[in-house]
Chain A
Amino acid sequence: GQSLEQPSEVTAVEGAIVQINCTYQTSGFYGLSWYQQHDGGAPTFLSYNALDGLEETGRFSSFLSRSDSYGYLLLQELQMKDSASYFCARYNTDKLIFGTGTRLQVFP
């Protein structure tokens, strides 16, 4: 199987830290990508993990544990503009398979 599981919704306040989890099935797995999509917009790439550990890009970090088939996206110092849907996607070399997405709502 190639499905990915994410929570459907997460809420947080400005300035807080939020973690969005993603579990995946291991068949043919090469790496895990994260995408952000604002309402009405196109998904945009945030980060990619091929190896275990943490990748940091500014306020956003992504973590992967291949042994646990698990990853997460960590968003720090949340801003109102971070309200969006976030998708994890497994990279199989021949296609990207996306999770169902997590809707993040940031409140003032």
Chain B
Amino acid sequence: KAGVTQTPRYLIKTRGQQVTLSCSPISGHRSVSWYQQTPGQGLQFLFEYFSETQRNKGNFPGRFSGRQFSNSRSEMNVSTLELGDSALYLCASSLANPDREAFFGQGTRLTVV
């Protein structure tokens, strides 16, 4: 079966703009988690969605938001982009709860200039 699909793969935006990233989980998976990965910081948890509801949120400012649709696809949005938002954004899917074995997409590489 198809894996986790993230689009777009690469994105360049300017400061102050907003961006929307998309994640399609593995078919049948209903939990989607988002992570920000920067050099030296590892993967930092952004939020997790299940059945269109945000169940958990990391320590990120309100400029970072997300949503999940009835088909389990998820989007995350970052408004008023800052240079420090440049990172690889990864999503991970699991059946029902964030699992010890998460399946990751290839990520979206966001560069803010």
Residues of A participating in the B interface, judged by any CB pair closer than 8 Å: 8, 31, 33, 41-45, 48, 50, 87, 89, 91, 93-101
User: A91 to chain B: which residues have CB within 8 Å?
Assistant: 98-100
Q: Is the CB of B90 within 8 A of A43?
A: yes
Question: For chains A and B in complex, what number of residue pairs have CB atoms within 8 angstroms?
Answer: 60
User: B42 to chain A: which residues have CB within 8 Å?
Assistant: 87, 98-101
Q: Is the CB of A95 within 8 A of B43?
A: no
Q: Is the CB of B55 within 8 A of A94?
A: yes
Known: A95-B45, A97-B45, A98-B42. A44 touches B104 (CB 8 A): yes
User: B61 to chain A: which residues have CB within 8 Å?
Assistant: none
User: A97 to chain B: which residues have CB within 8 Å?
Assistant: 45
B65 at the A interface (CB under 8 A):
no
For B, the interface residue count at a CB cutoff of 8 angstroms equals 25
Known: A94-B98, A95-B48, A96-B100. A87 touches B43 (CB 8 A): yes
User: A8 to chain B: which residues have CB within 8 Å?
Assistant: 40
17 other A-B residue contacts (CB within 8 Å) besides A33-B100, A42-B107, A45-B100: A33-B101, A42-B104, A43-B43, A43-B90, A43-B102, A44-B104, A87-B43, A89-B43, A91-B98, A91-B100, A93-B97, A93-B98, A96-B92, A96-B98, A98-B43, A98-B45, A100-B40
B33 at the A interface (CB under 8 A):
yes
Shortest B108–chain A CB gap in Å is: 12
User: B44 to chain A: which residues have CB within 8 Å?
Assistant: 98
Residues of B participating in the A interface, judged by any CB pair closer than 8 Å: 4, 33, 35, 40-45, 48, 55-56, 90, 92, 97-107
Find the A residue at minimum CB distance from B105. Answer: A42
User: Sorted from nearest, which 3 A-B pairs have the closest CB atoms?
Assistant: A100-B42, A98-B43, A42-B104
Q: Is the CB of A48 within 8 A of B41?
A: no
CA distance A101 to B101 in the complex (A): 17
CA distance A43 to B110 in the complex (A): 18
User: A100 to chain B: which residues have CB within 8 Å?
Assistant: 40-42
Shortest B107–chain A CB gap in Å is: 7
